[in-house]
Amino acid sequence: MVAESETTAEPNGWVGRSIPRVEDAALLEGRGRFIDDLGVRPDLLHAAILRSPHPHAEIESIDCSAARAADGVFAVVTGADVKALTASLVVGVKAPIECWPIAIERARYVGEPVAVVVASDRYRAEDALELIEVTYRPLPAVVDPLVATGAGAPILHPAVKSNVIGERTFRYGDPDSAFASTPHRIRVDVHYPRNSCTPIETYGVIAEYDPGDNSYDVLANFQGPFSLHPVMARALKVPGNRFRLRTPPDSGGSFGVKQAIFSYVVLISVAARIAGRPVKWIEDRLEHLAASVSATNRVTTLEAAVDTDGRIRALAFDQLEDCGAYLRAPEPATLYRMHGNMTGAYDIRHVKIRNRIVLTNKTPTGLNRGFGGPQAYYPLERLMQRIAIELNLDPLDVIRRNLVPANAMPYRTASGATLDSGDFPASLAAAIDAGKLGELIARRETARAAGKLYGVGFASVVEPSVSNMGYITAALTPEERRRAGPKNGAQATATISLDPLGAVSVQVASTPQGQGHRTVLAQVVADALGLRPQDIRVIADVDTAKDGWSIASGNYSSRFAPAVAGATQIAAMNLRERLARVAATQLNVAPADIVFAGGRVAARANLDNALPFARLAASAHWAPGTIDSDLGQTIRETVFWTPPELTAPNEADEINSSLCHGFIFDFCGVEVDRLSGAVRVDRYVTMHDCGRVLHPAMVAGQITGGFAQALGAALFEEYAYAPDGAFLSGTFADYLVPTSMEVPEPVILQRESPSPLTPLGTKGVGEGNCMSTPVCIANAIADAMSLTSLDLPATPTKLAALIHGRQNEPRVKS
């Protein structure tokens, strides 16, 4: 895709053009403002965390006396201290388990915090960690989710008496009859591994406590969702207005991962309270890999009832979700984020689902780019390939036969989501054509004739965006939901202000971590007000004490372009409408005849009859008396927007889990080296329909970045544990993130079917390749090697063992 970059006048507006990013100059000159770059109070102290070396152990005693006496140490905080000052973090299922930010009497995963040292500097804090004497009584650990469900498995939370802490079954349509009356049953079994998008900047928290009014003031590179604000405030036992949370202007990547900082926000807040001084904690990489957060690993059995021509009549999912040692909010959201679109891009009316949540001695899970998508689409798209092979059909025909047809849009899925727009078959056809599938197939033939292991894989998915805050309540029964009260919606907010010189400022609660939100919103508002992007100043970091925000605020579920930019558009148009009425009186024309263009506000019929925008904008400050009183003020406009389509789950457990659904069709060719088992992605084509595109280069950047992470997940990355619970991926030398040598540039193709449900016609785009790419590559590898089943990551060791029939492959579990 070609990004244009000229920035001259705007015949068709700024939106839709690739303008330079306003964020870049500062970042390129080393003037970014990341959390560890910001000014701090002179009495600031630094925290270091002692972590459990055991996957499962009773903590018999902790002797902190030597650490407390050490040079520069101000406080040592243990689980007992935290328990005395806080409440357990809220747990999202009805089970008698608690979730603390530090081990209380028992450690349940390697890396779990056991004590916090607060000292005059980080070096001294780390020194003192070595002086803490902890006596552990090791307990048997369990890391395999299937083993954890069995009788006799070590129990993590004795009060529950089982490691399975939640189970629900769902039934849509009449799956049993469909299975009984359809000729073929085809099934896949998948163990999806644990991994993480590991942002290059780690977590950071700076917290202080004011005993005078019992309030906490915290700066953290948290990414949202701000539904975790009440979770933190309740844990700290203060009302929400006494827990002020701010985010720094810049954040070094997140991809969901910086959601899980919230338990450290609570921990460091307590440490600051105990130390009586502000405390800063910057996580190091080893801590991050072992103990920040991870995507869930999931064991899935997926079975389809299929007609002889490949048409799928019914699906039956059995999903076992491993959330690690504690169910940390917003889990079990990974399991339910895709609930409305479990049938993917396909028209399948009969579905049954069994969902179980199991706890194991591993790091607790949380948001990670693609959130629930990779785990759901891996079995579904592997199944599509298996259907083709087992019924001797062309895999593309199987996909085509099942795609939701264009004339069915908007399409309501069996489990309750609305696929809002798109022509999936046309996108698929366009991708095959423009992406030159024929050439790739020919390449496969040539490679195979030369004795090479070459395969072609496909994947088609819908990419959900703008999460319904109510989808997670599908984890509860309808009866439990009735008692808890309805949860739904996805409030987005934007504020536009005019200052006394008539300049325009925008504030949103979107907490970007590199996605260029400030640039895009400047484009949106510039178009609405007839200005240039450089005239608009955008602030996207959050201060919960002063800014507009809601529980849905933050940067997740690809909600920026559809929801946040949409709310900003509405705010800008509201303000424009009021300003037009003010201008109409001054220019003696009807408000409808006012145009905003080129920094001026003019009468449509006579463009010389005009006012400078700045003068009109400033008038509410300088001469409010000249503004019609029923117009109110024209200084500031705040909009909250929530799509009415995002209703709570109904009695039949149908849930519109996301507002928008983009479409992705990917195919790729890979070659597997016969000797080493290494996979080379020869060509990767990815077709996206993400609705209207606001900034083509940024969309391409999101796709390329997501693709690289997905390639890592497919081929290299795994948070691996030994069967005894030892963590095996503790450094970047063990957890292999792909480099420029391994990541080819994908061929990006696009179609635009605007969403009818968002103000700008946009849909989310950031996460899709994390859903489609792992399985697309896996399908290609399976095609190359004629594999019936394959679990990720497809490392050279694993593939070489399959090629050479070696049985002594080291066994690791995730």
Partner 1 sequence: MPRLMAASSHRVSFTLNGRVVSGEAEPRMLLSDFIRHVLGATGTHVGCEHGVCGACTVQIDGAPARSCLALAVQVEGADIRTVEGLAPAADRLSPLQNAFRDNYGLQCGFCTPGILMSLDALLDERPNVSEAEIREFLSGHLCRCTGYASIVKSALAAARQRREDRVYA
Strands 504-508 and 243-246: unpaired
Residue 607 C-alpha from the chain's centroid: 47
Look at residue 649 and give the partner it binds from partner 1, ligand FES, none, a contact being a CB closer than 5 to 8 Å depending on partner kind: none
Per-residue binding string, ligand FES, 474-513, x by CB under 6 A, is ----------------------------------------
Per-position DSSP letters for 466-528, written without gaps between them: EE-TTGGGGGS-HHHHHHH-------EEEEEEE-TT--EEEEE----SSS-HHHHHHHHHHHH
For residue 202, state whether it binds partner 1 (rule: CB under 8 A): yes
Q: How far is the CB of 253 from ligand FES (least distance, A)?
A: 5
For residue 730, state whether it binds ligand FES (rule: CB under 6 A): no
Tell me how far apart the terminal alpha carbons of the chain are, to the nearest angstrom.
37
- Contact indicator for 253, 32 with CB cutoff of 8 Å: no
Q: How far is the CB of 732 from ligand FES (least distance, A)?
A: 8
Per-position DSSP letters for 16-37, written without gaps between them: TS-PPPTTHHHHHTT----GGG
Q: Which stretch binds partner 1 (CB under 8 A): 18-26, 93-101, 207-215, 464-472?
A: 18-26
Interface of this chain with partner 1, residues 106 to 145, rule: CB under 8 A: 123
Q: What contacts 43, CB < 8 A, 6 or more positions away?
A: 277, 278
- Contact indicator for 454, 670 with CB cutoff of 8 Å: yes
> Positive or negative, the Cα torsion across 74, 78, 80, 83?
positive
Please identify, using beta-carbon distances, which residue of 717 and 783 lies nearer to partner 1: 717
Q: How far is the CB of 36 from ligand FES (least distance, A)?
A: 12
For residue 768, state whether it binds ligand FES (rule: CB under 6 A): no
Count of CB atoms within 10 A of residue 482's CB?
Answer: 11
Look at residue 743 and give the partner it binds from partner 1, ligand FES, none, a contact being a CB closer than 5 to 8 Å depending on partner kind: partner 1
Region of 163 (left: φ > 0; alpha: ψ -120 to 50; beta: rest) is alpha
Whether cis (ω within 30° of 0) applies to the bond prior to 96 is no
For residue 200, state whether it binds partner 1 (rule: CB under 8 A): yes
Q: How far is the CB of 100 from partner 1 (least distance, A)?
A: 28
Size of the site for ligand FES (CB under 6 A): 3
Look at residue 4 and give the partner it binds from partner 1, ligand FES, none, a contact being a CB closer than 5 to 8 Å depending on partner kind: none
Q: How far is the CB of 220 from partner 1 (least distance, A)?
A: 16
Q: How far is the CB of 282 from ligand FES (least distance, A)?
A: 12
Look at residue 24 and give the partner it binds from partner 1, ligand FES, none, a contact being a CB closer than 5 to 8 Å depending on partner kind: partner 1
Q: How far is the CB of 122 from ligand FES (least distance, A)?
A: 15
For residue 23, state whether it binds partner 1 (rule: CB under 8 A): yes
Interface of this chain with partner 1, residues 275 to 294, rule: CB under 8 A: 284-286
Q: What contacts 626, CB < 8 A, 6 or more positions away?
A: 582, 619
Q: What contacts 433, CB < 8 A, 6 or more positions away?
A: none
Look at residue 177 and give the partner it binds from partner 1, ligand FES, none, a contact being a CB closer than 5 to 8 Å depending on partner kind: none
Q: How far is the CB of 285 from ligand FES (least distance, A)?
A: 7
> Positive or negative, the Cα torsion across 261, 267, 272, 273?
positive
Please identify, using beta-carbon distances, which residue of 84 and 200 lies nearer to ligand FES: 200
Q: How far is the CB of 715 from ligand FES (least distance, A)?
A: 19
Give the H/E segment covering residue 319: strand 312-322
The owner of tokens 């700290």 is: 236
Q: How far is the CB of 515 from partner 1 (least distance, A)?
A: 7
Count of CB atoms within 10 A of residue 364's CB?
Answer: 24
Residue selected from 8, 213, 733, 808 as contacting partner 1 according to rule CB under 8 A: 733
Q: Which stretch binds partner 1 (CB under 8 A): 199-207, 531-539, 590-598, 642-650?
A: 199-207
Give the H/E segment covering residue 566: helix 565-587
Look at residue 554 and give the partner it binds from ligand FES, partner 1, none, a contact being a CB closer than 5 to 8 Å depending on partner kind: none
Region of 322 (left: φ > 0; alpha: ψ -120 to 50; beta: rest) is beta
For residue 200, state whether it binds ligand FES (rule: CB under 6 A): yes
Helices and strands (H and E) in the chain: how many: 21, 28
Q: What contacts 524, CB < 8 A, 6 or more positions away?
A: 14, 15, 565, 568, 569, 572, 694, 760
Residue selected from 97, 430, 595, 743 as contacting partner 1 according to rule CB under 8 A: 743
Q: Which stretch binds partner 1 (CB under 8 A): 134-142, 183-191, 306-314, 731-739?
A: 731-739
Which tokens go with 598?
A: 């080129």
- Contact indicator for 790, 778 with CB cutoff of 8 Å: yes
For residue 699, state whether it binds partner 1 (rule: CB under 8 A): no
Interface of this chain with ligand FES, residues 234 to 253, rule: CB under 6 A: 253
Please identify, using beta-carbon distances, which residue of 253 and 435 lies nearer to ligand FES: 253
Size of the site for partner 1 (CB under 8 A): 56
> Positive or negative, the Cα torsion across 30, 33, 35, 38?
positive
Please identify, using beta-carbon distances, which residue of 378 and 707 lies nearer to partner 1: 707
CA angle 33, 34, 37 (to 5 degrees): 75
Per-residue binding string, partner 1, 28-47, x by CB under 8 A, is xxxxx-x-xx----------
For residue 199, state whether it binds partner 1 (rule: CB under 8 A): yes
For residue 514, state whether it binds partner 1 (rule: CB under 8 A): yes
For residue 193, state whether it binds partner 1 (rule: CB under 8 A): no
For residue 514, state whether it binds ligand FES (rule: CB under 6 A): yes
Which residues contribute to the site for ligand FES (CB under 6 A)?
A: 200, 253, 514
Which residues contribute to the site for partner 1 (CB under 8 A)?
A: 3, 5, 18, 20-21, 23-25, 27-32, 34, 36-37, 123, 197-202, 250-253, 255, 284-286, 513-516, 697-698, 700-701, 704-709, 731-733, 737, 739-741, 743, 745-746
